[in-house]
Structure formats: structure tokens, C-alpha cells
Amino acid sequence: MKIIDNVKELKEEIKKLKGSIGLVPTMGALHDGHLSLIKRATRENDNVVVSVFVNPIQFAPSEDLDKYPRQPEKDIQLCKNEGVKIVFIPKISEMYSDDKGNLTLICPPYNVVDKLCGKSRPGHFDGVCSVVAKLFNLTKANKAYFGQKDAQQLFIVKKMVRDLNFDVQIVSCPIIREPDNLALSSRNKYLTQNDRKLALNISKALFNLKKLFTQGVVDIRDLVDVSLKIMDGLDVEYIEFVDKNTFNFKTKADRDTLVLVAARVPESNTRLIDNIKLWE
Ligand code: PAF
């Protein structure tokens, strides 16, 4: 396995690869969710490239860029165990030679970023799309693997690929959960014991919603009320019902509905996201 920290060498090594290339873009602190993407990429491609890069331009100044968990040695070992061909782990200066105000960015349209996570994280998806586009260009990936936990990110990246004719297939991979249903996230590392207990109420609320829907409850106000009761003690930023194909808001729940939640837990002030399809 090659460990590469610069663009020049990455381009050279990519040229040498024979067969298909699967890219797993990550910000490191790899957990079983990432490993499920890497395993799938390994099954479906001749070569797998994992990028490990905490992308500064997708963090607002008030966010957790500095304390975001970093464990490069462990990440490299995990990739090695999975048979990854290249780990690309660049410094910020390799990816961005200019300051943010002077960079060419890919900015998804307002109507897809003015809601859900985009609403409280202005500029976040510009940063995500821009780094993902760079990684597509640098790795020449045939397929790229993204988790469904970041559902709005997945939707926006797919749209970018369609709109800008990137020659890469986006593979959408299921959310991986702990046995007690907490969705895996690198930010779970921040959780105190109390926070973790409270955080469980996010998935509890979502699974309960799905149950209520299958029992015939379709009124969104009723579904939100019950869910907010379950998530009492959490600071719920949003609970929203969208069409899973268009991300347009729903007026009533149906089989195409995706329910998304973002909430903060009180002690560590960690912001967590999760979602569920009401039918599949
Ligand atoms: O989902 C993530 O970890 C990041 O947003 C991504 C896609 C690696 C871009 O920095």
C-alpha cells in the first residue's frame, strides 16, 4: 500500500494503476461505517484509494475543525488491513495553495443548501463539493463511495456529478449502527456517557416514526410531536420530512419519505445527524 501526501505523486501513482479505481473520501478517524465503504469498494474495484483529509473549507469558523478527531497512524493501518492500494493523506497546503476567499469553489444551488444541514452550516456544501470534485479529478475514480448517514451530502454530490458530467458513479452505502442503533460517526468520540445515552433517543425517535408510519400515521405534525417527546433533553436543530429522490419537503408522510434529524447533546455540545427511510 502506498501512503501519499502530495498531489504530484498521487497523479503519478494513479497513472500506473491497472483496472478500475474505487475512491472512498473520508476525513479520517475511520470507524466501522467507513470500513463498510472500503470493504464494498474493495469488492467492486481492482484498486481502492482512500483519502484522509480533514477539509478545512467545509467547516465554519465556529465549528470543530481544530478538535476534529485525528488518528492518521491507525487509519493507515486500517486501510492496510483492507487491502487498500493508496491512502492519500495530504496537508492543507497540498490541497489549497490559496486562501478560501481566493479559491474556485463548486457551489450547489441555493434551493438544495438552504435547508437541513445547509441552513445552519452556510458554505459547508460548497466546501464538500469542491474537495470531492478535486478528489474525483486527482484519483480518476470510476466509482466513489458515500454513506447514507450524510444524506443531504449524498444527494448534493450526486447532483453535482449529474450537473457537471463527472465520469464517476456514486455508490450509496447504508448507515452502519452500533448494536443499540446509534449511527456511527467520528463525532461520537466527543460524547460523554450521559450524552451517549441521550443520543440514543435520536435513532429511537426515527425507528418509532417508521413504526407509526407502517401503522398508518401520515400526519407530519403528529409524527414530529411524538418524536420531539422521545428526543426531550436534546437540542433538536431540525426534524424534517423530504422526498428521498428530490429532497423537496413533504406535506404528508408517504413511502418516498426520508426523515432527517440534527440534534445537539447537552454536555459535549456535539451535533449529531441521523435519518431513516419510512419505507424500504
Ligand atoms: O463525509 C465526509 O467525511 C466529508 O464530508 C467528505 C465527503 C470526505 C468531504 O470532505
What is the three-class DSSP state of 254? coil
Quick one: which of 259, 273, 46 has its CA closest to 182? 273
Interatomic CA distance for residues 136 and 237, integer angstroms: 32
Pocket around ligand 1 at a 6 A CB cut-off? 25-27, 55, 58, 128, 131-132, 150, 153
> What proportion of the chain, given as a percentage, has pLDDT over 90?
98
Q: Whose CA is nearest to atom 6 of ligand 1?
A: 26
Which atom, in ligand 1's list, is nearest to the CA of 25? Answer: 8
What's the whole-number mean pLDDT along residues 19-25?
Answer: 99
| Best probe residue, ligand 1, of 54, 89, 128 (max atoms within 8 Å of C-beta) | 128
What's the whole-number mean pLDDT along residues 11-31?
Answer: 98
Q: Does the pLDDT value for residue 37 go beyond 90?
A: yes
70, 89, 93, 147, 153 from 40: Cα distances, Å: 23, 21, 31, 11, 19
pLDDT at 99: 75
Give 199-255 pLDDT, tens digit per residue: 999 999 999 999 999 999 999 999 999 999 999 999 999 999 999 999 999 999 999
**Cβ atoms within 10 Å, residue 39:** 17
Which atom, in ligand 1's list, is nearest to the CA of 132? Answer: 9
Q: Whose CA is nearest to atom 9 of ligand 1?
A: 128
Question: The whole model's pTM is what?
Answer: 0.97
Interatomic CA distance for residues 43 and 168, integer angstroms: 17
Q: What is the set of domains in the chain, with CATH numbers?
A: 2-173 (3.40.50.620), 186-274 (3.30.1300.10)
Q: How far, in Å, is the centroid of ligand 1 from the Cα of 250?
A: 27
What's the whole-number mean pLDDT along residues 102-118?
Answer: 96
Average pLDDT, the chain: 97
Interatomic CA distance for residues 184 and 163, integer angstroms: 30
Q: Whose CA is nearest to atom 8 of ligand 1?
A: 26
Confidence class of residue 97 from pLDDT cuts 50, 70 and 90? Answer: confident
Q: Which residues are the active-site residues?
A: 34
Q: Burial letters for 153-167: b for 16+ Cβ neighbours within 10 Å, e otherwise? A: bbbbbebbbeeeebe
Give 152-196 pLDDT, tens digit per residue: 999 999 999 999 999 999 999 999 999 999 999 999 999 999 999
